[in-house]
Amino acid sequence: MSKRIDLIGTVHRDPKGKEKLLACLDLLAPDTLILEASPYSVSFRRQNSPRLLGLLDRRIDELNRKFNSDCVNHGEIEAIRAMLQMPFEIEAASEGTGKSRKIIFAGDITESKKYLDEIEETLLSFENLEYLISKPNIPLFRQVEDEYSRARNHLHLQNFSDKNLDSQNLRMAQAAKSKDSNIVVVVCGWEHLPGLHRLIGGSLYLLDKSWNEPLSF
């Protein structure tokens, strides 16, 4: 039996992403699942999410008192809260039903560690949070819908350059080609789809409302 490769593009922090991805994985039934995330991103969140979410809540309380406002549900704060929690892609990969499958984390540990280890002083700094809540309040679900619309438009136009053949794409492609499996599914941010498709081919899926229909590319 020849190997089949499917590529699923996501918008990270999609509030409905987990349920859609679970359904998509049940449909595609992979032997091997390759995720864009790094092992460090998993361990970091397991160890630090409760503490960092508490820090976020305390700083939002300070901002509310400072500006006599209620920014707990501001879209930018919703996005940060989602980022601090375990990504839905990882949760869905772990909770999927059906036959057992291998899960490969293909993200760069060094890059992931550098970003995550600094978020307390960068993303969660009082100054950054103050700036974010000054922006228009666009709910997270609307941000995600807009990003999926942009993704579908760009993919339809094939509006990409050689930039998509970056190191992350090369790692995921190498993992997909090296695994001895009949059905390999790669789950990644939608921006990686063109580069991955160029490297390893496969059917393309975008995890928006039409997730069960392969893209024509």
- The first and second tokens of residue 180, run together, are 């001895």
pLDDT surpassing 70 at residue 165: no
pLDDT, tens digit, 9 for 90 and up, residues 95-152 = 865 557 899 999 999 999 999 999 999 999 999 999 999 999 999 999 999 999 999 9
Rounded to whole angstroms, what are the CA distances from 111 to 38, 136, 167, 168?
9, 30, 11, 10
Quick one: average pLDDT of 158-177? Answer: 77
Reported confidence tier of residue 171, pLDDT bands at 50, 70, 90: very high
Quick one: average pLDDT of 35-42? Answer: 95
- The first and second tokens of residue 201, run together, are 């081919």
Query: Beta partners for 189?
Result: 10
Reported confidence tier of residue 157, pLDDT bands at 50, 70, 90: confident
Q: Provide the pairing of β-strand 102-105 with 4-10.
A: unpaired
Residue type, 133: I
- The first and second tokens of residue 122, run together, are 């960068």
What secondary structure does DSSP assign to 37-52, as a single string?
A: S-HHHHHHHHHHHHHH
**93 or 96, which is more confident?**
93
Average the pLDDT over each of 55-64, 91-100, 170-179 and give the range with the smallest value.
91-100
User: Residue 3 has what pLDDT?
Assistant: 85
Average the pLDDT over each of 1-15, 51-65, 113-127 and give the range with the smallest value.
1-15
- Would you kindly state where each structural domain of the chain is located, as residue ranges? 4-206
pLDDT surpassing 80 at residue 164: no
Quick one: average pLDDT of 203-212? Answer: 91
- How far is the C-alpha of 102 from the C-alpha of 117, rounded, in Å? 28
pTM above the 0.85 mark?
Answer: yes
